[in-house]
Amino acid sequence: MPELPEVEALVRFLRERAVGHAVASARLASISALKTFDPPLHAIEGATIIEANRHGKFVDLSTGEAHLVFHLARAGWLRWYDEVPKTPVKPAKSPLALRVRLDDGSGFDLTEAGTKKSLAVYVVRDPAEIPGIARLGPDPTAPGFGESDFAAVLAGRRTRIKGVLRDQSVFAGIGNAYSDEILHAARMSPYALAANLSGDDVARLYRAMRDTLAEAVDEASGRPPAELKDAKRRGMLVHGRTGQPCPVCGDGVRQVEFTDSTFQYCPTCQTGGKVLADRVLSRLVK
């Protein structure tokens, strides 16, 4: 799933390639992907894209009067073309969800692999009309988001820090992968309760969050969309690396499996050598 760094890189790419161009056509291939009906999709045709912005994991292309907003979900992606294929777009069982052609012939496809379709497209007058954007918490990379703001968000939350970090209503844009990386950098257990963190813990976690995300954004920025997935995988130290040696201490990276997700961590770096149990095995977690 693309998270804050990859989505930020996509927005910067579109800011360079799409802003200033008019939308020649917008063709839907997956009817279920479009979540709004007023304004209609064709309302953006003929209009010039004047801004490209990010709201958490949402991409927002604004024409002033309307916004084309999309969320790539778990398996969605953007494919850029310098020359968009001229083949007609027809609703069918294929990865293609939406094709946008610009006035110079360039443009992009939104695609989604697999059978579980969650990619979402919206055409709205104001991005705040979209429930997923309206409920977003603060952007953890925002220049004005300081350590005291971070501490205030965590205060009183008697929930595991792993879940807090990836809750979009708490922090906008962090998902499963980067929460693993942030906690590893902070040398903190995914199961630590947010409300129980000491002042030093909070400071260490804040620095790890800001540094991890900033480095990932820097690494992703300037890359074309086709390279972002591989660059993300290469940058991971623990996420997606179950059984491989931790690059910090050499211990084997462990995995915790839940019903619909998994996460990775290093016991030596993060849990004092303890191996975390998981719900799938119905063990008691401490």
Among 20-29, 108-117, 233-242, the minimum mean pLDDT is found in: 108-117
Please report, for residues 126, 138, 201, 249, the alpha-carbon distance to residue 62 in angstroms, rounded to integers and kept in the order given. Answer: 9, 21, 40, 46
Stretch 194-208: mean pLDDT? 98
pLDDT value of position 91: 81
Least confident of 6-15, 75-84, 246-255, 256-265: 256-265
Specify the range with the lowest mean pLDDT, choosing from 116-125, 192-201, 276-285. 276-285
Mean pLDDT for all residues in the chain: 95
In this structure, are residues 164 and 197 in contact, taking their beta carbons and an 8 Å threshold?
no
Q: What is the pLDDT of residue 285?
A: 44
Residue 279: is its pLDDT beyond 80?
Answer: no
Q: Which pLDDT score, from 0 to 100, does residue 280 have?
A: 54
Whether the predicted pLDDT of 28 surpasses 80? yes
Residue 271 has pLDDT above 80, yes or no: yes
pLDDT band at 286 (very low <50, low <70, confident <90, very high): very low
pLDDT confidence of residue 85: 94
User: Does residue 126 register a pLDDT over 90?
Assistant: yes
pLDDT at residue 92, rounded to an integer = 73
pLDDT of residue 141: 98
The structural domains of the chain, ordered by start, are 4-134 (3.20.190.10), 147-281 (1.10.8.50)
282 pLDDT tier (thresholds 50, 70, 90): very low
Q: Give the residue among 148, 188, 142 at the shortest CA–CA distance from 164.
A: 188
Residues 32-58 have pLDDT tens digits of 999 999 999 999 999 999 999 999 999
Average of per-residue pLDDT across 23-33: 96
Residues paired with residue 252 on neighbouring β-strands, in sequence order: 245
* pLDDT, tens digit (0-9, with 9 covering 90-100), for 128-185: 999 999 999 999 999 999 999 999 999 999 999 999 999 999 999 999 999 999 999 9
Which residues, other chains included, contact 178 with Cβ-Cβ below 8 Å and sequence gap of 6+?
A: 3, 4, 5, 212, 213, 216, 239
CB 39 within 8 A of CB 129: no
**Could you give the C-alpha distances from 121 to 37, 103, 217, in angstroms and in order?**
11, 21, 24
Per-residue confidence (pLDDT) for residue 72, from 0 to 100: 98
Residue 107 has pLDDT above 60, yes or no: yes
Confidence of residue 1 (pLDDT cuts 50, 70, 90): confident
pTM higher than 0.75: yes
Q: pLDDT, tens digit, for every residue of 88-102? A: 888 877 899 999 999
Across-strand partners of 111? 77, 96
Residue 229 has pLDDT above 70, yes or no: yes
Note the pLDDT of residue 284: 44
